Structure 1
Amino acid sequence: MTASPTFSLNLIPVDLGRTPLLWALSVTAFEQVIWPNVNAPDQTIEIQLDDLFSFLVEFWKPLLLRQTYPAGLTPERPSLLAADAAKRWANVPQDQADEEGSELDAFEEAHNLALAFGGMFDLPPLWLVRQGEQMLCDTNRNFIHLPFGKVHTELTRVGDEIAQHLRRTDEAKWSRIIEAWGCRDRASGVKLVSWSASLEDEVATKLIDQGLIDPPATFAEAVNDDDELLIAARVAGALPYEQIVQILDIARDFRHHRADGLDALSAKVSAYLRTFEVVEPHAQGETVAIFAREQLAIGSGERVDIFGLATKLGIDVRVDAIGPKTFDGLAIAGNRYGPGAFINRNGQRIREKGGSDLNNDAGARINLAHELCHLLIDRNHPLSAIEILRNRMPGNIESRARAFAGEFLLPSATAGKIWDEAGSPTDRYSLEAVLQRLADYFGVSFSVAAWKVEHGARWGLGQGGREQFRRLQAMLDSIASYR
């Protein structure tokens, strides 16, 4: 069976005459063998072809539509799911841990291809989990972001070719599963919403019946994942039904409009992001923030008028007080809604709940800068980024946006320079004075100011200032432990 160059399941028959279903399998990504053994490119595993086919038939919909992890978890990569769950279960009742453990087992069964081959143990994992326009492929040794469309095409090709082979081998014996493969894209509107947003069928039905979500007309439409409200429902899906409805109502209020300034800056930022090697999400956020300030001609020592800037870029910014208090806000942009950003005046970061000018509120400024990052970078498909307790935004995307917000409002280099000009203090009184000065002038929280001083000092002191940096860290731990 031929393979595509970007991602391929390489299948070679072992002995078609004697064992027509026994095939050798290896997996390639970007022309490198990644499974079963990256160190032995010629190594394969011998599988029963019907095992792989059964896996594709049974888990086709979750593989292509599901984009969230169970139990509200957002691990940095699929292989860390169990470790993150173990940390969570240390602080929950046993019956809850048992229930969530069953959810994790079911999730892994659908997304870890290595479990498809009955009786074969100790295989390295082969996770496939969708994240927007990418498919995360995780083998422990390799963590690769693959184009979703390429993976979809390859899985379709493999399934079609296996179906043809089974038909030639014994059509009567395999007719039912071949028929099931042919019907793999059939599903009701409720099921398409349920899989796409990771919602229970009952919740999906209610949202459809109330007109809050239009179900995809076809499976292909659901796969395209271009409905802003469906994405919003996915991100908020771990919340109670009433809160999901409230968030969807907010999103629906943002009418679609042109935002040429935002589009132009987003294009430049996205192009710039593609010019450097893959780095950690927080490093991406900080680097892009520095670049965005340069493009907007905002000096490193200038305070950003974040509300005025958002309006200038064409972002519809709205502020209102709604519950829950853990809901900070959302960003939305697509073909039907936005671009817009909502800031919740009741959010836990907002200091002046009744203030008339939130441009001077550190929490509101951080929230809006956070949403600006989503609107600049995460525009490869419709976005609905929601900052809320137990949301389902991928952890790496949130980490990048948090880093962007802090760096955009207060560059680390500037914070480090001001600390240095003040005499590089590490005593509480003098250090608190520097932090307060930064917080007041740049309009950030005390904890953000402490975070940026720490980052700026780390690079400014260099190797020779390790002891002084340790003293700084120790005092910052005392002053702002949650930075």
Structure 2
Amino acid sequence: MDISTNFSFELSFDKVRNQAENLARGDLLLHINGDLIWCQQEEEADPARGNEIKSVVNWTWVDLLAYLAKNWSYLLFEELYPLDLHPETPLELRRIAEARWRDASLDEDQIFDEDDEVCAFEKRHNLSSGLKGLYLPSVYIVREGHLAWVCVKDDHGNETPCKHRFKFEMIKEELLRVGNQIAYHLANSTHPSAIKAVNSWQQALESTSRKLISIRSGLSNAELKAIEQFAANDNDFWEVAGHDDSEILAAARLSPGSMGVSDKKYILQRVKAVPFRSTPILDKLSDECLATIPAYHGERPFIGGYAAALWLREKLGIKQNETFDPKYWLETWGVSLDYIETDEELEALAFWGRKHGPAILINKNGVINSKTSGNRTTLAHEICHLLLDRKGSLPFADAIGGNTPEWVEKRARAFAAELLLPRDLINAYLLTHLMLTDISSQLDAVDTAIENASSHFDVSTSLIIHQLYNYRSAEFSTEVRKKIKGLHVHYARETRLA
């Protein structure tokens, strides 16, 4: 096994002399991308002198099996974070939850209840949380479509947190392998804890489809009942036969958490009404774009978003000063566009998969879509997901204003901005305006240039400011840069695009 690019356990068991005492004691190491994550440091080692010695962890691993059995369905199916929060990675969940709790409008009881939800989620997804009597660094695993976040945190603050993105199937197979390895070793144990863990593991592997639907959809029992009553004559309403996800489940999961059941029914009905479409040109573009964009190595999401947008403009022959028409290209590629009227929090729902789409449902009531510039941004945003995420984080759907994973949303926002108005283009446009004014009027010229650019390129003011801020041109005076920074701070608070 190539551990340099993988997530892998090495486990060997001590010789068993008495099955009544067999709790799967043995030596274990956990490798992530070539680094030893679960290991022990020898007492005589001195890291300051560069002679740090790491050895295997010798322990009883029945508790790891019990943890996997208890949380197997959540590790496999759960993608939504608690409290409708959208951290960029699992490591940011508690930080943004605590920021929420600093809101004076929340009472103490509500904060305690929400803290319990966050703690429960963290325990479900942290491999080390089930180990008793042993401290090992936290390893959080949270699925994201065809991918999974694997994040490492030393709760004693000894190491910098690490964030990795792996193929989900690889993570699943390795967890399944180590679970089966422990269970097989414990098969003849007569210790009550071992018997219980093995039985629980077997039951977890036989988990019912009902549990899958509940976790994957993100719907409460009451919502599931109401929606399934509406679809009483559809024996395969969720369309999961032989699979663990579908366009229908994804649409339910990614819709805003605050959306009422009637709106969710309406959305799912609209998704089910759209047939599958073949889009060979778009599929080829997607393959080429994915081959061009480097794999994730810890960089900020906007890096890939900008690179993909510039690649697409060049691929399509869009000149630097030419306005990009996302609607034209989506229709050229065979993507269905339609309008809906629903909860204003949802801007658009895009979906693609085995049975439906690719298609985009655009909400007429959405705040962004109420203007043509916002509508163009919405469509450009979805082009990013169609190109980059169907084989990764979003194999079935995306919802702007919903529960789409934050890392891919940040990348899509950067992509949409660069696709519609490249940073070097708006930089040159502003410089032209500044050159036509005297120094005393340059700050006013910034406002004029932004207003003219918004009209000329049909994009929002916030998108323009975002692009100018991220370009950080050295050609601007200190005063102009300060002005742009001030506008960016203002719009970062007021808009969803910043």
* TM, length-normalised to structure 2: 0.85
Match for residue 456 of structure 2 among 420, 425, 441:
441
* Structure 2 unaligned spans of 5+: 42-46, 154-160
Indicate the SS of the match to 1:292. Answer: helix
Deviations 1:256-303 (A, max 9, x none): 111222222212211111378653111211111111111111111111
Whole-Å separation in 2 of the counterparts to 1:431 and 1:281: 28
One-letter code aligned to 2:348: G
- Matched ranges for 1:256-271 at <5 A: 256-271=276-291
Q: Structure 2 vs 1, CA of residues 221 and 335 (structure 1 numbering), >3 Å: closer, same or farther?
A: closer
- Aligned counterpart, 2:9: 9
Q: Does 1:249 align with 2:269?
A: yes
Whole-Å separation in 2 of the counterparts to 1:277 and 1:106: 29
One-letter code aligned to 1:418: Y
Whole-Å separation in 2 of the counterparts to 1:276 and 1:394: 15
Whole-Å separation in 2 of the counterparts to 1:276 and 1:175: 41
Whole-Å separation in 2 of the counterparts to 1:443 and 1:384: 27
Q: Does 1:139 align with 2:152?
A: yes
Indicate the SS of the match to 2:75. Answer: helix
Deviations 1:417-439 (A, max 9, x none): 11112226784421111011211
Q: Does 1:126 align with 2:146?
A: no
Match for residue 348 of structure 1 among 351, 367, 379:
367
Whole-Å separation in 1 of the counterparts to 2:57 and 2:2: 17
- Matched ranges for 1:200-215 at <5 A: 200-211=220-231, 214-215=237-238
Q: Structure 2 vs 1, CA of residues 173 and 128 (structure 1 numbering), >3 Å: closer, same or farther?
A: closer
CA contact under 8 A between 2:189 and 2:195: conserved in structure 1?
A: no
Whole-Å separation in 2 of the counterparts to 1:128 and 1:17: 35
- Aligned counterpart, 2:395: 382
CA contact under 8 A between 2:344 and 2:366: conserved in structure 1?
A: yes
Alpha-carbon offset, residue 52 of structure 1: 0.8
Indicate the SS of the match to 1:130. Answer: strand
* TM, length-normalised to structure 1: 0.87
Whole-Å separation in 1 of the counterparts to 2:408 and 2:474: 28
- Matched ranges for 1:388-407 at <5 A: 388=401, 391-407=402-418
**Which one is further off, 141-150 or 21-30?**
21-30
Alpha-carbon offset, residue 74 of structure 1: 1.4
Match for residue 205 of structure 2 among 181, 185, 205:
185
CA contact under 8 A between 1:335 and 1:382: conserved in structure 2?
A: no
One-letter code aligned to 2:142: V
Alpha-carbon offset, residue 478 of structure 1: 6.3
How many residues are matched? Answer: 463
Indicate the SS of the match to 1:386. Answer: strand
One-letter code aligned to 2:28: L
The root-mean-square deviation of aligned C-alpha atoms, in Å, is: 2.8
* Structure 1 unaligned spans of 5+: 353-360
Indicate the SS of the match to 2:13. Answer: strand
One-letter code aligned to 1:204: L
Indicate the SS of the match to 1:136. Answer: strand
- Aligned counterpart, 2:172: 152
Indicate the SS of the match to 2:427. Answer: helix
Deviations 1:421-469 (A, max 9, x none): 222678442111101121111110111122222233x14539xx65652
- Aligned counterpart, 1:229: 248
Indicate the SS of the match to 1:417. Answer: helix
Q: Does 1:71 align with 2:71?
A: no
Whole-Å separation in 2 of the counterparts to 1:188 and 1:115: 25
One-letter code aligned to 2:144: Q
CA contact under 8 A between 2:163 and 2:298: conserved in structure 1?
A: no
One-letter code aligned to 2:132: G
Whole-Å separation in 1 of the counterparts to 2:345 and 2:278: 31
Match for residue 107 of structure 1 among 121, 130, 136:
121
Whole-Å separation in 2 of the counterparts to 1:249 and 1:159: 40
Q: Structure 2 vs 1, CA of residues 75 and 217 (structure 1 numbering), >3 Å: closer, same or farther?
A: closer
Deviations 1:93-133 (A, max 9, x none): 33322221111111112111111112335x42111111111
Whole-Å separation in 2 of the counterparts to 1:312 and 1:75: 35
One-letter code aligned to 2:278: R
Whole-Å separation in 2 of the counterparts to 1:478 and 1:217: 45
Whole-Å separation in 2 of the counterparts to 1:62 and 1:41: 35
One-letter code aligned to 1:198: G
Alpha-carbon offset, residue 481 of structure 1: 6.4
Indicate the SS of the match to 2:187. Answer: helix
Whole-Å separation in 2 of the counterparts to 1:341 and 1:460: 40
Q: Structure 2 vs 1, CA of residues 189 and 301 (structure 1 numbering), >3 Å: closer, same or farther?
A: same
Q: Does 1:319 align with 2:339?
A: yes
Deviations 1:36-89 (A, max 9, x none): 579867244343221111111111111111111111111111122111110112
CA contact under 8 A between 1:12 and 1:25: conserved in structure 2?
A: yes
Whole-Å separation in 1 of the counterparts to 2:428 and 2:378: 25
Whole-Å separation in 1 of the counterparts to 2:94 and 2:323: 43
Whole-Å separation in 2 of the counterparts to 1:205 and 1:192: 15
**Which one is further off, 249-258 or 80-89?**
249-258
CA contact under 8 A between 1:330 and 1:343: conserved in structure 2?
A: yes
**Which one is further off, 237-246 or 362-371?**
237-246
Alpha-carbon offset, residue 14 of structure 1: 5.4
Whole-Å separation in 2 of the counterparts to 1:342 and 1:217: 22
Deviations 1:144-191 (A, max 9, x none): 112211111111111112112112343887444323322323344332
CA contact under 8 A between 1:193 and 1:230: conserved in structure 2?
A: yes
- Give % identity: 25
Q: Structure 2 vs 1, CA of residues 238 and 471 (structure 1 numbering), >3 Å: closer, same or farther?
A: closer
Whole-Å separation in 1 of the counterparts to 2:423 and 2:11: 51
- Aligned counterpart, 2:157: none
Deviations 1:363-409 (A, max 9, x none): 11111111111111111163210112xx2211001111111111110
One-letter code aligned to 1:110: R
Whole-Å separation in 2 of the counterparts to 1:195 and 1:171: 32
- Aligned counterpart, 1:409: 420
Alpha-carbon offset, residue 308 of structure 1: 1.4
- Aligned counterpart, 1:358: none
Whole-Å separation in 2 of the counterparts to 1:472 and 1:195: 44
